[in-house]
Structure 1
């Protein structure tokens, strides 16, 4: 793809993300997306065969960017694995920063909505979740090795923590307050240092 072509595709994905993270996938019609992105229908279909394929590309782009943003958070030099994890999870509470927060997470937004509508989008979301769980497991393992996290099964605990944070994020959206995310941060601290 030449740079103009890549720029147009990226522009559609960027505008689509902003619309979908606020309204949901099914609530955003193709005409609204085209109007907001200021591109003709032919341009959309040049890059994406369908809205579903656009959804897959959007999820893959989101996960790629998300992993790029969280890598430096989970792999800080001269910082314990425990402190890296607390930094990461604390960012879920920060509504203003778009790095990890619950209100801007496509996985939180789309998991329940599209899992029954599109198998290919469900698979893209599941792959993204697995990448995130893997990154958390690596940081937990690092914390075990540096002594900042209790001895535990890093893969299992990473999965449990991610499930817990997704659930708290959904309750955050439902209740419109941070209480469940704050409680989640406290239980995360306790889970990682249960022997302390």
Structure 2
């Protein structure tokens, strides 16, 4: 059943549908009409919520990171586990949700990062803000691991957080290229070594 134009759920439906489709096909390959048809939203509704495809893309990236960071926070802040256990749970979750084609919208930064960085400055900035927030959280949990004694690292927490994120992004791209989780497994081993586990 189509969603009524102007309802609070319409904008969310458009963004959620776009994330799923674009995580599979990319940004440039997907037209607005395809997203609206899949979301069962009338065509006229789009410009009620978004001034342009660029503004829509920026909103989609912001929405993606909002959900991603909320999931990340749940994993990294759960009680009872050491910082090392929480951090490794995050990487295991990454391995399961971002390495192959069927990521169900969870790998949007991996899928669209290089593509949209050259197409849209506003989307590039949304990606930069979102990925910086991920690294901030990684740095925080690494610092917690140093305090609780569950992690042992060489160097500072910020640099390690950046290196780990870069490694996992690269492994995700390679896993997609090879259609195999091997790059993720190698990165997991390297991650454990860098964290002193």
TM-score of the pair, normalised by structure 1? 0.91
2: distance between equivalents of 1:44 and 1:55?
A: 12
- Superposed, 1:44-55 pairs within 5 Å as 44-55=46-57
2:117 maps to 1:76: no
Task: Confirm whether residue 180 of structure 1 aligns to residue 177 of structure 2.
Answer: no
| Higher relative contact order structure (alpha carbons within 8 Å, sequence separation ≥ 6) | 2
Q: 1:121 aligns with which of 120, 123, 128?
A: 123
- Which one of 112, 115, 121 corresponds to residue 110 of structure 1? 112
- Residues 163-188 of structure 1 show CA distances to partners (whole Å, capped at 9, x for unaligned) of 00000000000000000001101100
Taking the aligned partners of 1:183 and 1:62, their CA distance within structure 2 comes to 27
Residue 192 of structure 1 pairs with residue 166 of structure 2: no
> What residue number does 1:14 align with?
16
| 1:28-39 alignment, distance < 5 Å | 28-39=30-41
1:122-161 to 2 correspondence within 5 Å? 122-151=124-153, 152-161=155-164
> The residue matched to 2:67 in structure 1 has which SS?
helix
Task: Tell me the matched-pair count.
Answer: 187
Task: Give RMSD over aligned pairs.
Answer: 1.5
Q: Matched residue of 1:39: which SS?
A: coil
**Divergent runs of 4+, >4 A:** none
Once residues 120 and 72 of structure 1 are traced to their aligned partners in structure 2, the CA distance between those partners, rounded to angstroms, is 28
SS of equivalent residue, structure 2 residue 7: helix
1:11 CA drift (Å): 0.7
Gaps of 5+ in 1: 96-100
1:6 Cα offset (Å) = 1.8
Distance 2:35 2:195 in 1: 43
> Is 1:163 aligned to residue 185 of structure 2?
no
- The alpha-carbon deviation at position 41 of structure 1 amounts to 2.2
Distance in structure 1 (CA, Å) of the matches to 2:141 and 2:8? 34
